[in-house]
Amino acid sequence: MERKMVTSASFLLCTFLLHFNLLHEVTGNEMSEIILEGGIGDGTYNNCPPPPFTSPFENERIERAYHVIQEFKPRITSDPKRFLDTWNGPDVCNYRGFRCDIFPNTKDRAVSGINFNGAAFSGTNFNLSGLLDRLPDLVFFHANSNNFTGTIPKEIIQYKYFYELDMSNNKFCGEFPKEILGAKQLTFIDLRFNKLYGSIPPELFMLDVDVIFINNNCFNQKLPDNFGFTPASYITLANNQFIGPIPKSIGQASETLSEVLLLNNHFSGCLPYEIGFLKNAKVFDASLNELTGPIPQSFACLEKMQFLNLTGNRLYGPVPELVCKLPNLYALSLSNNYFTEVGPECRNLITKKVLDVSMNCIPGFPNQKSKDECATFCSTPKYCPSEISLTIVPCKNYYLSSPNTSDYQPKAAAPSPVTYNALKQPRLS
């Protein structure tokens, strides 16, 4: 019995020593290999790193725009043109309403423009914060005919290449958005058909812009004295409530101004003779105001004028023959004033249906005001400051090269002025 116990003890001791030696051998020779290869096995495991992360966006600019758009998207609660159907996935350049171009001095594409024209978007607290202020690569923003409210984010003044802003036919209200005055690259400003009121800051007419469309708002103050300093070619101030005289500085725009619409306001006083300096102007419309006095003789220098409209004022005196000799007239509208005389040149234009003098005080002509109304107006004291200036013709050879109106042959089709198209309000679907 004692021998069996010794034998059992010896077996257990031998087993323990054998197990210890094996464990020591693995620990000493193979443990590092086990750790590196992920365990004991047949060597099929390796130490390769995981594959690198691949972004679905082509660059950081596009990724930033994606997040901005996706955060803005839920704020649009009405999308009748189904723009939002395309606003999915990482390729924002294929989203409807967004445009991408190569960003200057890089090889990267970026969201360079937004065109929401006619989208008829609406939403709750529907302003441009969170969109326009977070896309610094923008070159243009077009959003006419929507339901945006609020103000214009001031961040756009920091956008290096931003040059076009169209926010017409929305629901912006308040005073003129001075935030845009710091955007020095702007060439196109369109704020028409909103509910803006108050005065126009003089800084607007110091911007190096081509287009200023602010018609159909509620602006109700005088124009700044520097109005004519603008280099703009196309200006529409129509259908507001502007008051006071047309600034004499308008003559400073002689090289650049092509079309200007001042109609349907409350402009008063006499027409400044400086208007005659607008040698490149093709459209001048100051109809439906409270202007008075004679037509300055300087208007004979408007040699490129095609559409001249002074209808619905309190102008008087003879219609200048020199104005009727302007060589490029398609329409000279002088109806509903108090003119008293037309000469042979003007009569020829009436025959050609270029000149309209209906509802004036011209003896012997049809469709004129009543004698009593004309007499009452004639008896009212009238005065224009610097009346001598109204007789000045500042250009030379103002009619020597002009055709005789008896030979006047207008072109087959009248051109379509840019500014008159701006008076048409797009429909919100």
Mark whether 157 and 251 lie in a shared domain.
Answer: no
What is the mean predicted confidence (pLDDT) over 354-367? 97
256 SS3 class: coil
* Segment 98-111, tens digit of pLDDT: 999 999 888 899 99
Q: How many angstroms separate the Cα of 18 from the Cα of each of 12, 28, 46, 63, 263?
A: 10, 15, 32, 63, 110
CA angle, corner 184, sides to 128 and 179, nearest 5? 35
Strand order in the sheet with 211-213: 98-102, 109-115, 140-142, 164-166, 188-190, 211-213, 234-236, 259-261, 283-285, 307-309, 331-333, 355-356
Q: What pLDDT was estimated at residue 305?
A: 98
Q: What pLDDT was estimated at residue 387?
A: 82
10 SS3 class: helix
Residue 24 lies in a domain: no
Residue 2 lies in a domain: no
Mark whether 190 and 250 lie in a shared domain.
Answer: no
Residue 203 lies in a domain: no
Mark whether 287 and 386 lie in a shared domain.
Answer: yes
Residue 6 lies in a domain: no
Q: Which residues of 5-41 are buried (b: 16+ CB within 10 A; e: fewer)?
A: eeeeeeeeeeeeeeeeeeeeeeeeeeeeeeeebeeee
The set of residues, in sequence order, having a beta carbon less than 8 Å from that of 297 and lying 6+ positions away, is: 273, 276, 320, 322, 390, 391, 392, 393
CATH number at residue 77: 3.80.10.10
CA 180 to centroid of chain Cα atoms: 11
Residue 12 lies in a domain: no
Name the phi and psi angles at 115, rounded to 5: -130, 95
Mark whether 72 and 124 lie in a shared domain.
Answer: yes
Residue type, 196: L
Residue 410 lies in a domain: no
Counting other chains too, the contacts that 226-232 makes at CB distance below 8 Å and 24 or more residues apart are 226/202, 228/252, 228/253, 228/257, 228/274, 229/205, 229/253, 230/204, 230/205, 230/206, 230/256, 230/257, 231/256, 232/256, 232/257
Residue 48 lies in a domain: no
CA distance 324 to 373: 26
Which of 152, 167, 198 is at the close of a domain?
Answer: 198
Instruction: Tell me the two tokens of residue 214.
Output: 């602010």
4 bridge partner residues? none
Mark whether 171 and 244 lie in a shared domain.
Answer: no
- Whether 163 shows a pLDDT value over 80: the answer reads yes
What is the mean predicted confidence (pLDDT) over 112-141? 95
Which of 198, 233, 250 is at the close of a domain?
Answer: 198
- Please compute Rg for the chain using Cα positions: 38
Model pTM score: 0.83
CA distance 361 to 317: 9
Number of structural domains found in the chain? 2
Confidence bin at 57 (pLDDT 50/70/90): confident
Which of 198, 232, 249 is at the close of a domain?
Answer: 198
Mark whether 191 and 266 lie in a shared domain.
Answer: no
CA 237 to centroid of chain Cα atoms: 14
CA distance 351 to 318: 18
Q: Are 334 and 315 in contact (CB under 8 A)?
A: yes
Mark whether 179 and 291 lie in a shared domain.
Answer: no
- Supply the range of the domain harboring residue 155: 58-198
Mark whether 255 and 360 lie in a shared domain.
Answer: yes
| Mean pLDDT of all residues belonging to the chain | 88
Q: Are 231 and 254 in contact (CB under 8 A)?
A: no
Q: Are 294 and 317 in contact (CB under 8 A)?
A: yes
Mark whether 232 and 271 lie in a shared domain.
Answer: yes
Mark whether 80 and 106 lie in a shared domain.
Answer: yes
Mark whether 322 and 392 lie in a shared domain.
Answer: yes
- Whether 27 shows a pLDDT value over 80: the answer reads no
Q: Which residues of 137-176 are buried (b: 16+ CB within 10 A; e: fewer)?
A: bbbbbbbbbbbbbbebbeebbebeebbbbbbbbbebeeeb
Confidence bin at 198 (pLDDT 50/70/90): very high
Mark whether 311 and 344 lie in a shared domain.
Answer: yes
Q: What pLDDT was estimated at residue 22?
A: 39
Confidence bin at 414 (pLDDT 50/70/90): confident
Q: What pLDDT was estimated at residue 125?
A: 85
Residue percentage of the chain with pLDDT more than 70: 83
Residue 52 lies in a domain: no
